[in-house]
Structure 1
Amino acid sequence: MEGEAERTFPQHKWRKVAYGGMQPGYDDNYTDDSFLQDMVTNANVVKRDLFKVMQDSVSISLYLCIIALAVIIWTQTLHSVIDEASLLSLDAGLLVLGFLLILLTTGRLSLQLLLHYLLKISYFISGLFILAPIYHTVTRSMSSDSIWALSISLVLIHLFFHDYSGCTIRPPGAQNNPTLPSNISLNASIIASVLVASRLPSRLHVFAMMLFSLQIFLFAPLVVFCIKNSSFKLYLCFAFTLMFMTLAVLYNMSWMLFVLLSCLLLFISVVCPYWLVRIQEYKFEINGPWDEAKLCFDISE
């Protein structure tokens, strides 16, 4: 019987095929020594440099300082330390400075482009001034504790979804639009701004606060993006200057907040990059014939 079975099913050489059914003489899960010859380990693992990772973390630290300055302006305005005239002056100064930085760093300085931007800004400010009375009364039936709880939650959502490597809005000359998480981040920041501005005493206060908030959350990332693309050294100088300025403001306001922000910046800029570089030693990636097949052509063609 055995001899008849061997004559009926001769011993074939096992082949590594994905489809074709069970091969005679071998189990369905059989593999020989050649199966692991194509195995590759850590083919896609990128060896990271500590200094480069620390440079990349500057964008996160910089934006945290920008948000910290915005929250300081919010609280000082709510406590009547900053009046509407000072806030409007601050808005005008930030707007002029931001546009000058964009025009100088993008290399597209022209009178026609400047007029185009001024026309759009005038439409935007006019619409914001018209909507200021609505923002002033939108949370009249809500308590201040609820407003602050919602505002803090929305700011945290904004920080979580913010695109730290790109821009909140489409920068000049860019081909791709902002991603969905960046849009969620922007919407959360605008809602938080409306909630805070609604607690101010006058409509002019509300207008000035909303204009300031939109410059911070919508306009500031664009300015930082343009500076970074123009010159990375200039970007680092701008980032560290803003960080030191934020720490100096917090030092004069509250020692506890100064220590908290300093520790947070140190953790993000030094500790986290060090951890990321160290854990790369324990990364073990296996690639082989068991992986899902990848297309070698453009599916859109």
Structure 2
Amino acid sequence: MESSRIARNSPPTQRRWRKVAYGGMQPGFDDNHTDETFLQEMVMNANVVKRDMLKVMLDSVSISQYLCIVALVVLVWTHTLNSTITSKFILILDVTLLGSGFFILLLTAKNLSFRLLLNYAIKISFFTTGLYVLSPIYHTLTRSISSDSIWALTTSLVILHLFLHNYSGSTIKAPGALENPNLTSNISLNASIVASVLIASRLPSRLLVFAIILFSLQVFLFAPLVTYCLKKYSYRLHLFFSFVLIAVTLTCVYRMHTLLFGFLLGLLVFVNLVCPYWLIRIQEYKFEINGPWDEAKLCFNITD
């Protein structure tokens, strides 16, 4: 009798606290209870990636490559506006770029079937025909707008295009790719198209309008696709093409204007040397803490 009375009067033993994701309230513990093992699972800088300086510099070559592509487009625009190159030269350049682009795609792109290539050819033919029909409209599109406004708007659109461009992918879906271009990439592409139309509207003839818009859209649409497939096919070939393109662009810009040459050279040095060094240095100040307070990651064991 005495022992049973003592057992009834003794306080109940407290249950052990368990860390569960979805277990509800545990009797005897508050909802925000933590035990002495709470900080033992703290991990610092678990997801911080140590970057190599040379690898970051080589990855930044893709940015410099596209900067040079846009610089060459702007050079062609300038010479066309100054009437130093003719519409015949631009048309020959269009055919050359289109043929070389298809040739590189045939050599480098994976999962590129004849049906897909034929689909590309049909779309390009319809696109070229529609562009030729609409060239008289583009020719008179900005007749009531001053030239200063056109140059300012074109410059802003080109800067926006460079700022939002996807330098690691393509503006159109590459053959075999699983993801479509994102929203910012589409905005960047639309900005380049509008800039091309604005420049073409200041040209003297309709044929020249057609030729320069076709040239610009070939570069802005298909050049990222070609360089993307080239990079996937061979990284060394990608680097060789990039360095040759940089050298050609710097030579053309130097012949045109020495001040622009200095600006472009400084920009390329900043992108390929200063920015990678800057990225490596700021990694030292990376401070990340992971622990039990992070969002729970559920694991499901699927058995037969």
Q: Tell me the C-alpha RMSD between the 2 structures.
A: 2.5
The one-letter amino acid of 1:44's match is N
Q: Mapping of 1:67-146 within 5 angstroms? A: 67-106=70-109, 115-146=118-149
Query: C-alpha separation between the residues in 2 aligned to 1:178 and 1:20?
Result: 43
Tell me, in whole angstroms, the C-alpha distance in 2 between the residues paired with 1:258 and 1:297: 59
| Structure 2 residue corresponding to 1:245, chosen from 244, 248, 264 | 248
**Aligned partner (choices 232, 238, 244) of residue 229 of structure 1:** 232
- Aligned residues between the structures: 292
Alignment of 1:291 onto 2:273 = no
Displacement, 1:244? Answer: 0.3
Whether the 8 Å contact between 1:158 and 1:186 is mirrored in structure 2 is: yes
| One-letter code aligned to 2:244 | T
Q: Label 1:188 to 1:67 Cα distance change in 2 as closer, same or farther (>3 A).
A: same
Matched residues in 2 for 1:243 and 1:138: separation? 34
- Change in Cα spacing, 1:65 to 1:29, as seen in structure 2 (3 Å) is same
Q: Could you tell me which amino acid in structure 2 is paired with residue 290 of structure 1?
A: W
**Structure 2: unaligned runs, 5 residues or longer:** 1-9
State the alpha-carbon separation in 1 of the partners of residues 93 and 118 from structure 2.
22
2:278 aligned with 1:280: no
Identity %: 63
CA contact (8 A) 1:193 1:210 kept: yes
Secondary structure of the 1:296 match is: coil
Q: Could you tell me the TM-score, scaled by structure 1's length?
A: 0.88
Structure 1: runs of 5+ lacking an equivalent: 1-6
Partner of 2:153: 150
Per-residue CA deviation, residues 156-205 of structure 1 (Å, 9 max, x unaligned), is 11111111001000112222211111111111110111111111111111
1:195 equivalent in alignment to 2:198: yes
Matches of residues 155-234 of structure 1 in structure 2 within 5 Å? Answer: 155-234=158-237
Q: Distance in 1 between matches of 2:117 and 2:20?
A: 64
Match of 1:61 in 2: 64
Counterpart position of 2:6: none
Distance 2:194 2:159 in 1: 12
Question: Residues 9 and 196 of structure 1: is their aligned pair in 2 closer, same or farther, counting only changes over 3 Å?
Answer: farther
2:273 corresponds in structure 1 to: 270
Against the structure 1 CA distance between its residues 286 and 131, is the aligned structure 2 distance closer, same or farther, given a 3 Å change threshold? Answer: same
What SS does structure 2 have at the residue aligned with 1:37?
helix
Distance 1:110 1:165, change over 3 A: closer
In 1, the alpha carbon distance for the partners of 2:165 and 2:111 equals 27
- Provide closer, same or farther for how the CA distance between residues 192 and 35 of structure 1 changes in structure 2, counting only shifts above 3 A: same
Q: Is the Cα contact below 8 Å between 2:110 and 2:176 reproduced in 1? A: no
Distance change in 2, residues 1:173/1:109 (3 Å): closer
Is structure 2 residue 55 aligned with structure 1 residue 52? yes
**TM-score normalised according to structure 2 size:** 0.87
Q: Give the Cα separation in 2 of the matches to 1:177 and 1:131.
A: 28
Q: What is residue 46 of structure 2 aligned with on the other side?
A: 43
Which amino acid in 2 is paired with 1:91? D
Q: Is the 8 A contact 2:111 2:175 kept in 1?
A: no
Answer whether contact 1:16 1:35 (CA < 8 A) is retained.
no
CA distance in 2, matches of 1:156, 1:110: 36
Measure, in 1, the Cα distance between the counterparts of 2:16 and 2:117: 75
